[in-house]
Amino acid sequence: MNVLKPLTSSPRELSPSYDPWDPITSLRKHGRHVLTSVEFTVTNLCNMRCEHCAVGDSLTSKEGDMLPLKNMLDRLEEVEHLETISITGGEPMFRAGTVDNIIVPLLKYAKERGIRSQINSNLTMPYSRYEKLLPYLDVMHISFNYVNGDDFHEVGFANSGHAVAKDAAYRLYNTMIENSRRLSEDGMLISAETMINYRTHTKLPEIHKLILDMGAKRHEVHPMYNSSFASALPVLSLNEMRTAIHALLDKRDPDVWMLFGTLPFFACSFLEEDQKLLSRMRAEKNVTLRNDPDGRNRVNVNMFTGDVFVTDFADIAAFGNIDNQKLDDIFIDWQTKHPLNQKVNCYCDAAGCCGPNLLVADMYYPEVDFKTRKAINL
């Protein structure tokens, strides 16, 4: 095992000018995409069954044992350019044992090596579990798509398969808000993500305000991915999405970092309305557009099987396993040989763009060959 030296200087603060999850940074630095980010799926259990869940079909009510953590840490240690890790599920904090035996050790490893960490949680578990992450975690990423507890009840348990009492849903909703406020007060960066979909597109400014009231320091906005449970939901038109983003930008708090990701608008578009929106976003204070990390600088590892995927949710088969391959080698194979990567692997430096998300490209631009396009109007 290679032993890489930990960073000794204090890490740079995450900010609109420093987002190590964005693959454009490593692409510019190395002149090619390299693996800088590893995401772990640490559970398929969850106490919720959201209408839009992009991994809904993988959720279970029981699960077996994970691979030994050491196997994963040994593989991580070999990743030469590692800068970030992300932990996802299911609900990663669902079992106290996962927090103690997997999540905290992974975060400790990240901290000691000087790399940044994120966890995706619904924040409805007891505070005592989250508190354990305070010394190590960089970003607590939550999903927030509601204007009240009724919305949460309707959206959060849509696929439960049985009725969930409204007061039970309200208890979880209030726990999430209270946990967010408390963790934020205790110094954790809460980054709340709202998806733009058929329910939220007219309510984004209201949702934004609630997110700030919860103490979140960053608001992320992404289109809904048309995957798993969400594949049965109506797809928003590009026009509705543009209108929703303009409305949010009109009303948002400009002092708060607003991160847009995987948007279906590109600098190579011939549409004036796309160029207008992109120009506005580039000019707005504290607004960033993150390129999609999936398959660009990140892979997902399933901690039960060791299988490696391009993302935790896309319906793309595993393309390697940590049992017999290094993560850097698996990533190079994906980059150089996989036909799906070739489809969206474009890059326009002046636009700061390295191509669309696979699902978004499929959803809105099935006929477009992005490799033949170039950014215009810059």
Give contact residues for ligand SF4 (rule: CB under 6 A). Answer: 266-268, 346-348, 351, 353-356, 370, 373-375
- Alpha-carbon span 62 to 48, nearest angstrom: 14
Q: At closest approach, how far in Å is the CB of 372 from ligand SF4? A: 8
Exposed/middle/buried for residue 25 (C-beta within 10 Å: 0-12, 13-18, 19+): middle
Q: Which is nearer to ligand SF4, 85 or 310 (CB)?
A: 310
Closest CA to 80 of 255, 326, 272: 326
Min CB(27)–ligand SF4 separation in Å: 11
- Shortest Cβ distance from residue 371 to ligand SF4 (Å)? 7
SS3 116: strand
Closer residue to ligand SF4 (CB): 210 or 378: 378
Place of tokens 């995409």: 33
In the complex with ligand SF4, the residue whose CB is nearer, 21 or 370, is: 370
What does the alpha-carbon distance between residue 192 and residue 214 come to, in Å, rounded to a whole number?
9
| Residue with smaller CB distance to ligand SF4, 12 or 371 | 371
Give the nearest distance from C-beta 263 to ligand SF4 in angstroms. 11
Angle separating helix axes 238-251 and 272-283, nearest 10 degrees: 30
Edge-first strand order for the sheet with 308-309 is: 287-290, 257-261, 218-223, 189-196, 139-143, 116-120, 84-88, 37-41, 298-302, 308-309
List, in order, residues 6 or more apart from 37 with CB less than 8 Å away.
20, 21, 82, 83, 84, 85, 86, 293, 297, 298, 299
DSSP character for 18? B
Please identify, using beta-carbon distances, which residue of 19 and 91 lies nearer to ligand SF4.
Answer: 19
Maximum separation of any 2 CA atoms in the chain, in Å: 54
Q: Cβ of residue 316: shortest distance to ligand SF4, in angstroms?
A: 19
Which residue, 251 or 374, is less far from ligand SF4 as judged by CB?
A: 374
Q: How far is the CB of 377 from ligand SF4 (least distance, A)?
A: 10
